[in-house]
Structure 1
Amino acid sequence: MSDAVLMQLLQVLADGRYHSGEELGERLSMSRTAVWKQLKKLPELGVQLQSGRGQGYCLPGGLELFERARIIQEAAPWCGDLLLELVVDSTNARLMARPSALGSGAVCIAEQQTAGRGRRGRTWISPFGQNLYLSMLWQFEGGASALEGLSLAVGVCVAEVLESFGLADVQLKWPNDVLANDRKLAGVLLEMTGDPSGTCQVVVGVGVNWRMPEEAAQSIDQPWVDIARLAEEQGAQPVSRNALAGRLIASLSSMLEDFVAGGFSGWRQRWLHRAAFIGQLVELSTANRRCAGMLLGVDDAGALLLDVDGEPQRFYGGEVSLRSAS
């Protein structure tokens, strides 16, 4: 109930205008004291609240909160379950906790994550109401072997959705990153539960920097960019967060249906078309190996192809990092 009241308050303040305590009380059907208690929760979420004498309260710049109807409209013909949350530990964890109760295509989206995760146990910075944190559940037969190259196909979906909004020069860095001019724009995290050699459920997690606040980005340890900055740099139109979520859901569900039938091979050329560092000297490191070579591309299973001292070698997913040797 508390989350519902807080969401109602945010929906009123989302326009970025000043609203008096009296107006907020009337619109939320509660006393001004109760309104004040709810307002005090906003800074705890990392939401900047501004007050003005004789004016009331506002959220500078406003917020575009997620709206179920708008997302579903953009996501057509997808018609799965949509868990729309205010704050969660992580959207992946929320779906992983109940895979048997949700069917293929179930989606969880949150305004904020308190324990968002990237690859290799890294923290995924997840400020409230500013980015996109989205996970989709899908059932596979054939276990882990059926998932080869899946994270790359997810990257293609993210890139193509961003391109549909008029954004250009989106690149894919093997195996999980989406870049723009060598700056991280989005990331992918896959998690599996069930039988590793039979029927299993996979949660596809995607985090996209939509409008990253500078203060939240201070702990990011690599070059980054968000959609708002990228659109401004390229002279593109602003991107709606709801439209972004809906189009990504539609793209992922369509891709996953195709992937179950045909695997990564049909997505390979679309990945290569956007591949970062192709034809460049790169360094690759795993838990027990480090080497340098020319990046040739990927094979039909999504394995990285690297020319090491004139000999093509394959590298598979796992604890692998990749960066330009230059």
Structure 2
Amino acid sequence: MSTLKEADQQLIRLLSDGQFRSGSELGQALGISRAAIWKRVQRLEEFGMALESVKGKGYRLAQSVDLIDQISLQAELGERAQLHYQWVTESTNADALALAGPVRRPQVFVTECQTAGRGRRGRQWQSPFAANLYFSIRFPVSGGFAALGGLSLAVGVAVAQALQELDPQLPVTLKWPNDLLINGAKVGGVLIELAGEMDGQVDVVIGVGVNGRMTGHQARGIDQVWTDLASELVEMPSRTVLAACVLSHLLDMLPRFSQQGFAAFLDAFDRYDGVRGKSVQVQSGDQMILGEAAGVLADGALRVETAQGVREVYGGEVSLRVR
């Protein structure tokens, strides 16, 4: 998939309100022919934007586009972090990893669309244009790799708390180690990667994706039960407000995690734990562990009560089992 050129971006802005615009009107605004407008409309569909064409009316986006306001978002972040914003990128995690480091303060990478978004275990993360929230934070942690146990769980807590700030009644839960669920359907995920270690400091990259407002057509590549915030919230905020809320909670969490580790978030995780007390199977490396989830430890390990005794699992993928 190619990138969006300046003329494509101008076209999106012109069509972002969901109203019809004639080909001649668009061509005049962009200084190109009606035939060139048609070609650019076709390009937008490559990025997951559904367009309608009606003879005598022109073109419009099937749903209005809510672009992130880069200036407003940086103002909300203030001096806590530096914002890097792009319309389209391959992966915000890849952008964060490519940054020359180490960094002195958190660096936040936000995009409207990822062409090669990644989930855990190399899975593709569906990232249609301006539909969801896609961002990564690169930040330094003292204490080296050993200080990172439970980081993905602390991130999950911070994101869950942000979503409940938008709606205190939102039934969000966490599935160890990195999924956010609402009523059992996935609404978001976390991907942690390491950018390198120098002099006892390790730079960590936290990737977060949260489903905002996504059509079934845009989500056709998702192979699990999913939901989005527009379907679950009483009132859906703008993507700028959503990004500011989630990022603010994470930027408040990071210094505390750096100083106290996951132990400071253990009680909060227990409140959101969506698998505790349930029958699970955990794929950890080449092992399949069957048992009942029994909470997590202060270092982020999942406790599983098996027929052979309690197992402590530090990495893997959890699936719920039917008793």
Using the size of structure 2 for normalisation, the TM-score is 0.91
Q: Is the 8 A contact 2:282 2:317 kept in 1?
A: yes
Please give the residue correspondences for 1:182-197 in structure 2 after superposition, counting only pairs within 5 Å.
182-195=184-197
Q: Is the 8 A contact 2:276 2:294 kept in 1?
A: yes
Distance 2:257 2:81 in 1: 18
Please give the residue correspondences for 1:153-302 in structure 2 after superposition, counting only pairs within 5 Å.
153-166=154-167, 168-195=170-197, 198-231=200-233, 236-302=234-300
**1:46 deviation in Å?**
2.5
Distance 1:26 1:103 in 2: 47
Change (3 A) 1:200 1:116: same
Q: Secondary structure at the match of 1:221?
A: coil
Distance 1:135 1:34 in 2: 35
Q: Which residue is equivalent to 1:152?
A: 153
Q: Which residue is equivalent to 2:132?
A: 131
Change (3 A) 1:195 1:5: same
Distance 1:63 1:47 in 2: 9
**1:12 deviation in Å?**
1.6
**1:58 deviation in Å?**
0.7
**1:203 deviation in Å?**
0.7
The percentage of counterpart residues that share the same residue type is 38
Q: Which residue is equivalent to 1:306?
A: 304
- Number of paired residues? 319
- Flag structure 1 segments of 5+ consecutive residues without an equivalent: none
**1:195 deviation in Å?**
2.1
Q: Secondary structure at the match of 1:66?
A: coil
Whichever residue aligns with residue 262 of structure 2, its letter is F
Distance 2:42 2:289 in 1: 53
1:41 aligns with 2:39: no
Q: Secondary structure at the match of 1:120?
A: helix
- How well do the aligned residues superpose, as a CA RMSD in angstroms? 2.1
**1:32 deviation in Å?**
4.6
Higher deviation after alignment, 293-302 or 1-10: 1-10
Deviation string 1:113-139 (CA, Å, 9 cap, x unpaired) is 111111111111111221111111101
**1:256 deviation in Å?**
0.8
Q: Is the 8 A contact 2:103 2:140 kept in 1?
A: no
Deviation string 1:263-288 (CA, Å, 9 cap, x unpaired) is 11111111110101212222222122
1:71 aligns with 2:69: no
Whichever residue aligns with residue 321 of structure 2, its letter is A
Distance 1:280 1:101 in 2: 41
Q: Is the 8 A contact 1:80 1:103 kept in 2?
A: no
Change (3 A) 1:31 1:218: closer
Whichever residue aligns with residue 222 of structure 2, its letter is I
Q: Which residue is equivalent to 1:324?
A: 320
- Flag structure 2 segments of 5+ consecutive residues without an equivalent: none
Q: Secondary structure at the match of 2:225?
A: coil
Higher deviation after alignment, 46-55 or 273-282: 46-55
Q: Secondary structure at the match of 1:171?
A: strand
Change (3 A) 1:151 1:256: same
Q: Which residue is equivalent to 1:143?
A: 144
